[in-house]
Amino acid sequence: MSDPGLQIVVNSRYLPEHSSPNERRWFFAYRVRILNEGPLAAQVQRRHWIITDAHGETEEIEGAGIIGATPWLPPTAAFEYTSYCPLNTPSGVMHGSLLCTRDDGSEFTVEIPPFDLLSANVLLN
């Protein structure tokens, strides 16, 4: 079941200081902000990411919580975190979902819309 009460905004940026294009390694940071705009509390239980590079190769990452936490968000609360993603190409795209629970134990999924991973090489062209 999907839930419109949680809003997710993601911003990504290229990290040239951690990248090595000559070795086919581009490194990106992405900052995720989860805001509970609904009337009920929610807790993040699991995350699922799908990362696609410029060649269409995909990698899936799934696991408990986010950055080692399972944040509980009462109404109007927000949780933000930064994580990282290496790619073998200078650009790619990520999207995913969060599995959350309510205080009554019911589960719902929140979709994370696609966002771009773009290196300086791509931005300059």
Q: Cα 24 vs. chain centroid, distance in angstroms?
A: 23
Q: What is the CA radius of gyration of the chain?
A: 16
Residue 119 near residue 17, CB atoms below 8 Å: no
| Residue 36: strand pairing partners | 6
User: Rounded CA gap, 30 and 65, in Å?
Assistant: 16
Q: What is the pLDDT of residue 125?
A: 47
Which CATH number does the domain housing residue 86 bear?
A: 2.60.40.1470
Each residue of 6-23: b (16+ CB within 10 Å) or e?
A: beeebebebeeeebeeee
Write down the residue that tokens 């799908």 correspond to.
Answer: 50
Can you read off the two tokens belonging to residue 122?
């791509």
Question: How large a percentage of the chain has pLDDT more than 90?
Answer: 88
Q: What is the pLDDT of residue 80?
A: 97
Q: Give the chain's domain count.
A: 1
> What is the residue range of 112's domain?
6-124
Is 118 within a domain? yes
User: Model confidence over 69-93: pLDDT tens digits?
Assistant: 999 999 999 999 999 999 999 999 9
User: Rounded CA gap, 88 and 21, in Å?
Assistant: 9
Is 31 within a domain? yes
Is 11 within a domain? yes
User: Model confidence over 56-71: pLDDT tens digits?
Assistant: 999 999 999 999 999 9
Q: What is the pLDDT of residue 120?
A: 74
Is 63 within a domain? yes
Is 1 within a domain? no
